[in-house]
Structure 1
Amino acid sequence: MAQTSPAKVKVKAVTGVGLVVKDVQKTVENYWNILGIGPWDIYPWESPLVYERRHHGRRVWAREKLALAQVGEVQLGLMEPIEGDSIYQDWLMEHGEGLHHLNFLVDSADDVDRTAEILANEGFPSLQSGCFGDNGAFNYIDIKPLHAIWEAVHLHGNIGAKPTCYPSEAQTIPAKVKVNSIFQVGLVVKDIQKTVENYWNILGIGPWDIYPWESPLVYDYKYHGRPAWARAKTAITMVGPVMLELMEHIDGD
């Protein structure tokens, strides 16, 4: 029998995927040239465009570069920290470049605040928050039981600044492989059963399909190019246009 999620915050769709990088310009060129992802809008992510910024609840000043590209129904974002305290700089220092967060849209700036307040009351604190443009708002929330940073965002109209574009004029994509959509985001976890329960109870994400990811279902398996054997569990669910996948390693390479 179908049941209703007890979550007070319900995420209906993953609308964006964010990465932290050291060099936005070089990275957008690489995405364009290797996977045909673009064109890109690049913004100076700083005051006065970004205001009321907080880092772990403390008022701060910081500067970044932000690059955005639409990949199907999902927005891919790249953030390059330049100066000041931010979770992007924290991430670079702790983990290096790579996948940083997933985001979802809410209906208003007040809903961003309400979402953060609900999750804070459940033990999941805000890492960074702020406002941008004309009544836009964001809040990054550290939800450790979900093994990911989730960002609640309200976008009111456009971002509020004129971007620099890459490429600067229309041109043929040089990439031989062209990615037209982001279909799946995968997370590696230690305990799939517990993690799917957490997603259902905290963000209302589910129901989940769980599979034994092993032979004979999985075959012709290679690890770093060589034939190998392994066993895992996988769990999948659709969150709007994106399939969210969890993978738990059990045995093998």
Structure 2
Amino acid sequence: MSIADGPIFQVCWVVPDIAAATGEFAARYGVAEWFTIPDVHFRPESCVYRGVPADYAISVALGYAGGQQLELIEPRSGDSLYSEQLMRIGPGLHHIAWVPDDFDAALADARAAGREIVAQGAFEGVGMEFAYLDGGPIGSYVELMRLSPEMKAMFDYLIPEGHANPWA
């Protein structure tokens, strides 16, 4: 049973300093364009972390290496899957993400396969839901995302010319 198929939409790193990380990607890897969203607050009414309502803030930077979306997340406050990684193992690869055609069916398949959902929630007001699955033998997490047409349009605006996001 495949929980997600198709191309990987996103590769994400958790970092302690988003400005330093975007600078590193620009200087060493040619990813100079970043869309940054500072201090995104996730509230307990819409997010769960390890089975408990979660209240935390992060800063996010989105860039593209060719057609591959890159995400950098800097934990800002509260307990989250991101701050947990920095405390336990430090900065590094955090998750890979898919946008399944049927988000609810993909979550049901994950549960049926015995995959632990370690965090789940919504980015309020923008039309994005997410669920992080334990990565098992691959180590990093797997994120499943539900994106509204408006969120897909924003990501389509950000992707470099000549490339397309998985839903295109």
The alignment's TM-score, normalised by the length of structure 2, stands at: 0.80
CA distance, structure 1, for counterparts of residue 20 and residue 121 of structure 2: 27
Is 1:144 aligned to residue 118 of structure 2?
no
Q: Mark the CA change 1:26 to 1:69 in structure 2 (over 3 Å): closer, same or farther.
A: same
Q: Mark the CA change 1:84 to 1:112 in structure 2 (over 3 Å): closer, same or farther.
A: farther
Paired position in structure 2 for 1:119: 110
The alignment-based identity, stated in percent, is 26
**1:168-224 Cα distance to aligned partner (Å, 9 max, x none):** xxxxxxxxxxxxxxxxxxxxxxxxxxxxxxxxxxxxxxxxxxxxxxxxxxxxxxxxx
Q: Tell me the number of residue pairs that the alignment of Structure 1 and Structure 2 aligns.
A: 153
Q: How big is the shift at 1:159? A: 7.8
For structure 1, list consecutive stretches of 5 or more residues without a partner in the other structure: 1-6, 162-239, 241-253
Paired position in structure 2 for 1:155: 147
Paired position in structure 1 for 2:10: 16
Is 1:130 aligned to residue 136 of structure 2?
no
Corresponding letter in the other structure for 2:134: D
Instruction: Give the conservation status (yes or no) of the 8 Å contact 2:42–2:55.
Output: no
Q: How big is the shift at 1:95? A: 1.0
Q: Mark the CA change 1:49 to 1:70 in structure 2 (over 3 Å): closer, same or farther.
A: farther
Instruction: Give the conservation status (yes or no) of the 8 Å contact 2:16–2:91.
Output: yes
Instruction: Give the conservation status (yes or no) of the 8 Å contact 2:40–2:58.
Output: yes
Corresponding letter in the other structure for 1:149: Y
Q: How big is the shift at 1:115? A: 2.0
Instruction: Give the conservation status (yes or no) of the 8 Å contact 1:50–1:130.
Output: no
1:1-253 aligned at under 5 Å gives the runs 7-47=1-41, 52-107=46-101, 111-132=102-123, 133-156=125-148, 157-158=150-151
Q: Which has the higher helix share?
A: 2
Q: Mark the CA change 1:61 to 1:49 in structure 2 (over 3 Å): closer, same or farther.
A: closer
CA distance, structure 1, for counterparts of residue 87 and residue 14 of structure 2: 11
**1:43-84 Cα distance to aligned partner (Å, 9 max, x none):** 135337997111012211100001000111210000000111
CA distance, structure 1, for counterparts of residue 153 and residue 6 of structure 2: 26
CA distance, structure 2, for counterparts of residue 155 and residue 10 of structure 1: 15
For structure 2, list consecutive stretches of 5 or more residues without a partner in the other structure: 155-165
Q: How big is the shift at 1:155? A: 2.1
Corresponding letter in the other structure for 1:158: M
CA distance, structure 2, for counterparts of residue 49 and residue 73 of structure 1: 31
